[in-house]
Structure 1
Amino acid sequence: MRIHHEHPWNLDSKAAIALQNQLRRLVKIEDELPADIRRVAGVDVGFEDEGKVTRAAVAVLDYPGLGLIESSIARLPTVFPYVPGLLSFREVPAILKALAGLAVLPDLLLVDGQGYAHPRRLGIACHLGLLTDLPSIGVGKTRLCGRHEEVPDEKGRWVPLVDKQEIIGAVLRTRRGVQPIYVSAGHRIGLETAVEWVLRCTGRFRLPETTRQAHRLASGWVSGAGPAPGP
């Protein structure tokens, strides 16, 4: 796997923010998807040994069946501290290692976290998409920034997430009666298409199946150890 726009990771917060402001200019939030998408991947990260080890997981599902066809887990020492808005500097190195462990790269990444819906418009999905040059979507369980109106309680309905008079994402209802999720473009995809793909990858639970499968791996769930985490 070729890494694009390589940069050092041993940065302090000030340098990391400066780098985000540079990289944001390279993010493409228009559709540049492959003509035929057959492999969709969920990306999630957990931590071991009281946070000293970063555990990144990639779960690759076939599309449209959404069955797990390949997975990869990678562990690295946790170097960057937890700083809101700088999640990618803490997690992406391990994710890149996990992606390198795949036999075939996916056509589309659904990343647990924010994409363009970020104070500097460079959340982890944007950062990862830039480095891999893979189309990517941010799928956040919670809001990092922006404001929005109430989402109608009907599957598939969404409202814009707005920050500084700019639409930065979508607040999407994936299931009636549960909290919405926060979808934003990562790289090489527009917002409306990102919402469509999140819905295509979502079954009867709140989160897309890609995210659920990646969470199983990142959290240490293994086949036969118990049911997948719920909605």
Structure 2
Amino acid sequence: MTIIGIPAGWPADEDTARDVQRELRGRIELDEPGPAVGEGHVTGLDVAYDDERDLVAAAAVVLDARTLDVVEEATAVGRVSFPYVPGLLAFREIPTVLAALDALTADPGLLVCDGYGLAHPRRFGLASHLGVLTGRPSIGVAKNPFTFTYEQPGSARGDFAPLLAEGEEVGRALRTQPGVKPVFVSVGHRISLANACAHTLHLAPRYRIPETTRHADSLCRRALKEALGDSDRGADHLRKP
């Protein structure tokens, strides 16, 4: 398997990365409703790391938005492209994630990231970054709320509570299954928050986590093991961001 190198000119320090982040943030589109739920394709994106070898594996899994059946899968493995800096984690992953997306032949449709969009300290998480770079509608569905405050939503499926940053709603804590911990949904690019939540519910008919993320999580782990050439080893050396 080919290991993707770090692109020429890729930010190598915090100041440069923040400048890029600030410039791209100005391109986010927040006035579009986004694609209709259950139409076209949705693509789950996720990554796994091997810290010992400084590798990251990315997976892109296209689902039929109506049936949630897998349409196509693609992976890529690359060098970690940026140091670990909270708030700048997207810079570690994006070249490899874009390579996985580029390997698809099907239209990806809506991008669903295991991470954040506007629910980010500088309002520009991975979902926003990928949305702006690709021009596609995108959402972030995270397992944890990062640093933001929220009230517990009601216990029923579909109940939600605002995810707040200094009084601003930057996302929602959304209950995808009755009595189960919420997920944290935020807009990435070219979609409304209400529609992002509607998509998330549709993508999570049985489990807390959307099917997009479940498929992509499994696939990126397998891709990393294959790249290491050691499928018999346990998963202890594999790390999720």
Alignment map for 1:100-139 (pairs within 5 Å) = 100-139=102-141
Deviation (angstroms), 1:69: 1.1
Quick one: which of 189, 212, 215 aligns to 2:214?
Answer: 212
Distance 1:23 1:7, change over 3 A: farther
Equivalent-residue separation in structure 2 for 1:220 and 1:185 (angstroms): 29
CA contact (8 A) 1:37 1:108 kept: no
CA contact 2:45–2:114 (8 Å) conserved in 1: yes
- Aligned twin of 2:181: 179
User: 1:89 aligned to 2:87?
Assistant: no
**Contact 2:34 2:192 survives alignment (8 Å):** no
1:158 Cα deviation after fit: 0.4
- 1:82: Cα distance to partner? 1.6
Deviation at 1:29, TM superposition (A): 2.0
Aligned-pair distance for 1:34?
Answer: 4.7
Distance in 2 (alpha carbons) for counterparts of 1:39 and 1:172: 22
Offset, 1:56: 0.3
Alignment pair present for 1:63 and 2:65: yes
The one-letter amino acid paired with 1:19 is V
Gaps of 5+ in 1: 1-5, 223-231
Identity fraction in percent = 42
- More displaced 10-residue stretch of structure 1: 44-53 or 127-136: 44-53
CA distance in 1, matches of 2:170, 2:8: 26
State how far apart, in whole Å, the 1-side matches of 2:22 and 2:80 are: 24
User: Structure 2: any 5+ residue segments left out of the alignment?
Assistant: 1-6, 226-241
Aligned-residue RMSD, C-alpha: 2.1
CA contact (8 A) 1:116 1:185 kept: yes
In 2, Cα distance between equivalents of 1:191 and 1:219: 30
Query: Structure 2: which amino acid aligns with 1:164?
Result: E
The question of whether the paired residues in 2 share the 8 Å contact of 1:108 and 1:136 is answered with yes
Contact map agreement 1:161 1:171 (CA 8 A) in 2: yes
Alpha-carbon deviation of 1:13?
A: 1.0
Determine the structure 2 residue equivalent to 1:31.
32
Deviations 1:96-127 (A, max 9, x none): 00001001231101101000100110000000
Extract structure 1 runs of 4+ deviating beyond 4 A.
Answer: none
Residue 74 of structure 2 is aligned to residue 72 of structure 1:
yes
Using the size of structure 1 for normalisation, the TM-score is: 0.88
Give the superposition deviation at 1:23: 1.6
How many residues were matched structurally?
218
How far apart are the structure 1 equivalents of 2:48 and 2:111? 17
For the Cα contact (< 8 Å) 1:31–1:193, is it kept in 2? no
